[in-house]
Amino acid sequence: MPELRRVLANGVELNVALSGSGPAVLLLHGFPHTWELWTDVMADLSDRYRVIAPDLRGFGASGPAASGYDAGTLAEDAAALLTVLGVSSAAVVGIDAGTPPAFLLAMRRPDLVRRLVVMESLLGRLPGAEDFLAGGPPWWFGFHSAAPGLAETVLAGREAAYVDWFLNAGTLGDGVRPALRDAFVRAYTGREALSRAFSYYRALPESAVQIEQAVAAARLTVPTMALGARPVGPALERQLRPIADDLTGHVIEDCGHIIPLHRPHALLTLLRPFLAGEDTQAA
């Protein structure tokens, strides 16, 4: 089992899972997940890498924060976490809500990010996702970011059913192991937990501006892999293609949105060789 540690980074106390030794790999989860999304990935990579998997600010067991749910601040959290842990460079892997901060970290601090892997998310309003967005954004984006407190009020006492919907949809109906399911439900039960999670969605317009500013100022220079499944598919790769110097893209077939839990072996088959080039570099 990974070691769990409380780490003060960028003014917020993060709950961080740590495992293994070697070059650092930082894993950033999405919604409605915690660091435990990466359980299978950590078990596989920890024999060669120092794997670092935090709960994002306000998510899971990390400390609450009144603000800072925009991608830029979440990227600053990640950079500060690496600094506190004594890591001078890391491969950074993000999925869903973890993708925009992973991307901004690589854009703003290419010295800190050796390799970047991003999955099943969009990067603000960057061109390339028009086909995916042809029918409008996913319905929960509007629900989560509606009038303050509305989603929390509607979901009070119904959190388990709501989380279950995402876990089932994100695995094409297969679901996740009961222990993980229960951990995710606990993490998103209660008005305050929901409010912090939905703050990420309410900050999406600010995050989109940050992404546009970063792209206007620089190119993505670190080696990057964009992974898609259902529903995002190749949309993220298409967004990155015009701005990335070194980009590899894959769509994992017969795989739902929650790639690390639905098809961990397919993910690791792509992830291991992509990370292999950094084995001889110091963490």
Residue 85 is predicted with a pLDDT of: 98
Range of the domain at 35: 3-276
Instruction: Quote the pLDDT of residue 147.
Output: 86
State residue 66's pLDDT score. 94
Over range 214-239, report the average pLDDT. 98
What value does the mean pLDDT take over residues 79-99?
A: 98
pLDDT interval class at 102 (50, 70, 90): very high
* Helix (H/G/I), strand (E/B), else coil: 168: helix
Q: How confident is the model at residue 168 (pLDDT cuts 50, 70, 90)?
A: very high
Whether the CB-CB separation of 219 and 241 falls below 8 Å is answered with no
Helix axes 99-108, 71-84, angle to 10 degrees: 70
Cβ 80 vs Cβ 31: under 8 Å: no
What average pLDDT does range 20-44 have in this prediction? Answer: 98
Assess whether pLDDT exceeds 80 at residue 277. no
pLDDT at 16 over 90: yes
Please check the confidence at residue 24 and state whether its pLDDT lies above 80.
yes
Residue 282 lies in a domain: no
- Residue-level pLDDT at 282: 33
Contact yes or no for 36/180 (Cβ under 8 A): yes
Q: How far apart are CA 102 and CA 90, in angstroms?
A: 11
205: in domain: yes
- pLDDT for res 208: 98
Contact predicate 164/32, CB 8 Å = no
Q: State the total domains in the chain.
A: 1
DSSP state of 28: E
pTM, 2 dp: 0.96
Determine, yes or no, domain membership for 157. Answer: yes
Q: How far apart are CA 106 and CA 113, in angstroms?
A: 6
Tell me the pLDDT band of 281, cut-offs 50, 70 and 90: very low
- Best CA proximity match to 107, nearest among 9, 245, 218: 218
What mean pLDDT is reported for the chain?
96
Whether 48 is covered by a domain: the verdict is: yes
**Would 221 be classed as within a structural domain?**
yes
Q: What is the CATH number of the domain that holds 148?
A: 3.40.50.1820
Q: Which two tokens stand for residue 2?
A: 């990974």
Q: What's the pLDDT band for 50 if we cut at 50, 70, 90?
A: very high
- Residue 254 three-state SS: strand
Are 271 and 117 within 8 A, CB to CB?
A: yes
Cα distances from 104 to residues 92, 96, 101, 117, 222, in angstroms, run 11, 14, 5, 12, 12
DSSP assignment string, 96-153? GGGHHHHHHHHHH-TTTEEEEEEES---TT-TT-TTTTTT-S-HHHHHHTSSTTHHHH
Residue 228, CB half-sphere, CA atoms under 13 Å: how many?
19
Whether the Cβ atoms of residue 27 and residue 50 lie closer than 8 Å to each other: no
Is 278 a residue whose pLDDT tops 80?
Answer: no
User: Model confidence over 129-144: pLDDT tens digits?
Assistant: 999 999 999 999 999 9
